[in-house]
A and B are shown apart, each in its own frame.
Chain A
Amino acid sequence: MTKRIRVAVLFGGRSVEHEISVISALQLMLAIDPERYDVTPVYIAPSGKWYTGAALLDRGLYRSVPGSLARLQEVTLLPKPGVGGLTKIGGPVDMAKQALHFESEIIPIDIFLPVFHGQYGEDGCIQGLFELANVPYTGSNVPASAITMNKYLCKMYLRQHGVPVLPAISVHRAEAIRDIQKAATWIRSQEGFSSFPLFVKPCNLGSSIGVSRVSEAADLAPALAKVFRYDTTALIEPCVSNLMEINVSIRDSDGVHASVVEIPVSQSGVLSYEEKYLRDGGKKSGPSQGMASLTRVIDPPDLDTAIRDRVIELGRRSFALLGCSGVARLDFILDLSSGELYFNELNAFPGSCSFYLWARSQPRVLYTQLIDDMIETALRTFAINATLDRDIGLKALK
């Protein structure tokens, strides 16, 4: 038997989507092939501290954070190459245990698998740390993660490359706080933004947190103020009133592949956080399965094949243009009145890793396989990057 690959699965993090990340990671760790991989769960608490321990596999632990963290080992990843894994920090040093097992202060890791949604985990921050530490990691790299997290930049970039997007404008917090009425007037004066309804959302957040559908002028300022509780940039878009959302998952593994498409179903017109992540609007008991438990139609048989093909084509193109890797989910908007299709956003690490879409695709890819491919791709990318010559010697200082 070949040696198992030591995988650190990182999740949690300092993001409003902390909980969703925990749900996604617990799912992923159930699906990962234990014969091939030796999994070390690494939980980043809301405080930003990193912890590891087998207890992290127990869902109940997260209900009693921070108290329950005492049962775990605090670790960190040092931003320097060659450490070989996670460094244990803090806590009482168990001398006897160390003497008996020759346990070192390093937990060896071969590859890092970040399972984060939102800030610090999906936006290039932690990817930057992996780059500094010179360790292989799955998913998109720093620039791809950063640009896909910023909805405004992402749209502007894709529009530049001919991908259709809805018009969008952005407002910064500092301007709005100085004079909110001026900001509101400016928004209304922009072409295509004079009439309601408008969508006002945080520029760098997913999961529908802080999103408002503004249907009258009086609600514009409160909607902006709501965004600025979570983000320093607000994104404003016209609201397509008669729309259908169509999502597709794209991944790279020996080429770029597309999954079947899905149509998420919403009661209120905009998917709320509760609708996305809590079953039955959060009323029903029982653990949520995150994105995998959302009401949706996967691979709708009555969807026009031309539209479906266009979604897939635009999805693959956008994924490649942005330089993404791993498994991403791209959300499109179909204006049912005009028949126009628009790119809406890209999730560099989608909820539940979009496994539910791949399980229904042709050829069928099960979650275990999805993870396998992600890891293999990451190891390959790392090997390629390692061949890049960075050592040009001293010249200027000589």
Chain B
Amino acid sequence: MSSVAIVVYTLGLLFFGWHRILAYLRYFQQEEYSATRFWAWIREKRAFDRRGLCVATITTLLTYFTTTPTALLLVAALGSLAFVGIARFIEEDPRTSGKIRLTMTQRATKIAQVSFIVFFGLSFVWMLCACPTCHAASQSYDPFQTVAQLSIILVMLPPALLMVANLLLSPAERSLQQSFLNDAKRILAEVDPFVIGITGSYGKTGAKAALGELLTQCLGPTFWPKKSINTVMGITRTIRETMRPYHKYAVIEMGAYNIGSIKRLCDFTPPRASLVTAVGIMHLERFGSPENVYRAKSEIAQALPEDGILVCNGDSPNARRMASEHARQTTLLYGLDRSAGHLDCFASDISFDDKGTRFVIHWRGSQYPGRTPLLGRPALSNALGAFTMACALGADPAYAVACMANLEPVDNRLVLDRKPAVSFLRDAYNSNPTGFAAALEVLKTLPATQRVVMTPGMIELGDQQFSENRRLASEAAHVANLIIVVGSANREAILAGLGDAGFSKDATILVDSRDEAFSVIQSRCGAGSLVLIENDLGDLHEGRVRF
């Protein structure tokens, strides 16, 4: 009877284990398979298994009160059912639900499989050790009890298993990546497009899309990886899948994850022109100091040949500094604010309405009135950077301005969603102080009966995180009638900022998740309300994680 109990219980445990592996893998993937970052996240969020631990512990305790084999079997079956129930019915499948889903890439599949094999192996070995035949002589304890006790340890293992599996697979993964990389290099050499590198603490994805579109329309077929693909492996994959012999230009977004990462990208796809959208304080935690951020970003200018083209955002002091320290044959500054110094290209007469942004571009002695469906100053700044680069490469400025009217917003970066009841202004991607302030400006300008800000605040701002969140919360207080603070990441800073501005406590609502925030909006916002969703953190940083 004990053997049957062990088998029944172990089956439930295995089922649970597989689901746990997938659930953790989703976050491991979001942390880009970095064991250090994953472990830091687990500790920060205390994302240890609680539900599995509960089931294992209760089952173990129950075995102490069980005397008959039938009761033992019942306990085992209950434990097994609880495992299956949690995995199957209480928790969601990370592959099909959640904000950032688990994508079963080849790498993810392999890691999941290896982790499960180890999990299965351990369960099996322990089951064998506890097997009645091994303890035929000893009647002092029940073998099922041993299995239950050991399962307490087993349920805690999946995160560790993932890291181990990743380590085991890394040599094979590296050689596979190397072969992909070589293939991409061969394609690049054959196609030989004119490469334009883009970097910036923010705005680079928007600028990339705008530049890709302007170059395609004005000058010729242009290759650019969609979304925010900006790593060597991401670019490798896109080159292998979508680069074609007719591509004349390639716009490559280069992400700075640490010092040297842009240099690696520049070695891979050597740029002949570079666009720097901003050098700010984003991801300060990774770099240590603003000076290091500057050094990391400067690699994109250093990589340019002497006759290269460097286009920098003059509104960002450090991008301006880069233009002077690494000047090339053609060095151009663009911007929206002429108070900071000379600009080769700037926009004036900026206004916002439901159809987007209107402006007048000043370039080489001429004025070009235009409009774009993109909303807000940051989007206009990115489009202006793209415009400057396109013109530097030979596009007709008037045609480039005409094309700006047909740009499409990049996902969730200040997009207006007008509805008869409540309208939304979504600025959901990686919020930063400049973007936040610009979103508030748009929120203030557009017509609405009630203005609402829903935000978890900004993250990855190092030691300025508290002060920046406090400052912008206080700015938000001057624009919004209702402020919904999501999660706990920046709750104190935001509340402090709202306090500074004397914002009404009744109009400040604290919620744990975005779902809760939406139900608040449903109940408190009347027709004609405009809700700014500022920042929508991944599950990684959301207030609660439950396992």
Contacts and interface: CB of A to CB of B under 8 A. Distances in A.
Contacts of B370: 222
Contact of A177 (B369, B371, B399): B399
A355 B403 CA distance: 39
Interface in A304-351: none
Contact of A178 (B371, B396, B404, B406): B396
Contacts of A224: 402
B536 to A, nearest CB: 23
B165 interface: no
Contacts of B371: 222
B401 interface: yes
B354 to A, nearest CB: 15
B448 interface: no
B217 A221 contact: no
B399 A180 contact: yes
Interface stretch (A190-198, A225-233, A290-298): A225-233
B365 to A, nearest CB: 15
B405 interface: yes
A221 B398 contact: yes
Contacts of B406: 222, 225-226, 229
B399 A225 contact: yes
A228 B400 CA distance: 12
B218 interface: yes
Contacts of B369: 218
A146 B218 CA distance: 28
A368 to B, nearest CB: 40
A180 B217 contact: no
A200 to B, nearest CB: 11
Contacts of B403: 222, 225
Q: Is the interface of B mostly helix, strand, loop or mixed?
A: helix
B396 A222 contact: no
B402 A221 contact: yes
A218 B399 CA distance: 12
Interface in A195-229: 218-219, 221-222, 224-226, 228-229
Contacts of B401: 221
Q: Considering residues B370, B396, B401, which has the most beta carbons from chain A within 10 angstroms of its beta carbon?
A: B396
Contact of B398 (A180, A219, A228, A229): A180
Given A222-B371, A229-B217, A176 B405 contact: no
A307 B370 CA distance: 43
Contacts of A181: 398
B405 A177 contact: no
A309 to B, nearest CB: 42
A94 interface: no
B217 A225 contact: yes
Interface in A211-260: 218-219, 221-222, 224-226, 228-229
Interface in B213-260: 217-218
A179 interface: yes
Contacts of A177: 217-218, 396, 399
A310 to B, nearest CB: 39
Contacts of B396: 177-180
Contacts of A180: 396, 398-399, 402
B409 to A, nearest CB: 16
B399 A176 contact: yes
A188 to B, nearest CB: 15
A177 to B, nearest CB: 6
Interface string B166-207: 000000000000000000000000000000000000000000
B405 A226 contact: yes
Contacts of A178: 396
A23 B370 CA distance: 38
Contacts of A228: 217
B364 to A, nearest CB: 15
A354 to B, nearest CB: 32
Contacts of B217: 177, 225, 228-229
B244 to A, nearest CB: 12
19 contacts: A177-B218, A178-B396, A180-B402, A219-B405, A221-B399, A221-B401, A221-B402, A221-B405, A222-B402, A222-B403, A222-B405, A222-B406, A224-B402, A225-B217, A225-B399, A225-B403, A226-B405, A228-B217, A229-B217
Given A177-B399, A181-B398, 12 more contacts: A177-B218, A177-B396, A180-B396, A218-B369, A219-B405, A221-B399, A221-B401, A222-B370, A222-B371, A225-B403, A226-B406, A228-B217
